[in-house]
Structures are given as C-alpha cells and as structure tokens.
Amino acid sequence: MKKEAYIYFLTNRYNTVLYVGVTNNLARRVAEHKAKINKGFTYKYNCDKLVYYEMFTQVIEAIAREKQLKNWKREWKNALINDFNPEWNDLSESIGITDECIKGVEEFYKHGDCRSSPQ
C-alpha cells in the first residue's frame, strides 16, 4: 500500500537557518513545529516557518530525497526555495495550518503521556 510522504524546509523569521525534514503528514508535522512540541533543532533555532515542500507517493522516495537535500550546499537549497517560493513566505496557511490547529496540537500533547503523533 502506498502512502504519501513529504520533505519540507523550515526556517526562522530571518531565513538564516534551514531545517530539512520528512513526514507522512505535512500539516500535522508543521503544526507540531509551530507548537514547539519537540525540543530539538527546530526548537533551539526557532525554525517554524514552512518555506518549501515536495510530496512523494512512497515514503522511501521522500527519505531518499531528504538525505540528498541534507548533503546539498546551502546555496543550492536557497535556489530551490527561491524557485518555489521567491518571497520565502510561510506556506503553513496554504496547507491548512491555523492558530486553532496549533492550539489543538499543543492541547493534545499537554494532556496524557503521548509521544506518538496524532494521526
């Protein structure tokens, strides 16, 4: 069974840091980043602005693309973003992320001992 997957780039408000990630649910994952659920790289560097993404029909393809992009020079990543999103706007709203959605994610993780993501 095929399930879609995504690679995505997050940056901070100044566009100085780039994070490349992979997920099977882009809206959920971006909402988690915006809600600061995980205290890793994106939390430390305030990366919560979605500036680029690609969709794949198979998870293995997305993982391969993520690995490829992580080995790219920053200037190549910037060029990819510039072609897709020249103003480096936050694309979160275009994929359905709202303040309500982010609050819902925060509430989900606040209650209970859930480390697995909501599906």
* Tens-place pLDDT, residues 67-81: 999 999 999 999 999
**Three-class SS of residue 109?**
helix
Give the domains, in start order, of the chain with CATH numbers: 5-110 (3.40.1440.10)
In this prediction the pTM is 0.88
Q: Is the pLDDT of residue 119 over 50?
A: no
- Please give the Cα distance from 16 to 45 (Å, whole number): 9
Confidence of residue 27 (pLDDT cuts 50, 70, 90): very high
Beta bridge partners of 6: 23, 55
Burial of 78 (0-12, 13-18, 19+ CB in 10 A): middle
Q: So what's the pLDDT on residue 91?
A: 98
Confidence of residue 1 (pLDDT cuts 50, 70, 90): low
Q: What is the mean pLDDT of residues 5-15?
A: 98
Q: So what's the pLDDT on residue 111?
A: 76
Task: Report angle CA 5, 57, 99 to the nearest 5 degrees.
Answer: 35
What are the backbone angles phi and psi of residue 11, rounded to the nearest 5°? -140, 175
- Please give the Cα distance from 84 to 114 (Å, whole number): 35
Task: Give all strands (DSSP E) within the chain, no chain letters.
Answer: 5-11, 18-23, 49-56
Q: What is the mean pLDDT of residues 19-24?
A: 98
Q: So what's the pLDDT on residue 66?
A: 98
Q: Is the pLDDT of residue 113 over 80?
A: no
Q: Rounded mean pLDDT of the chain?
A: 92
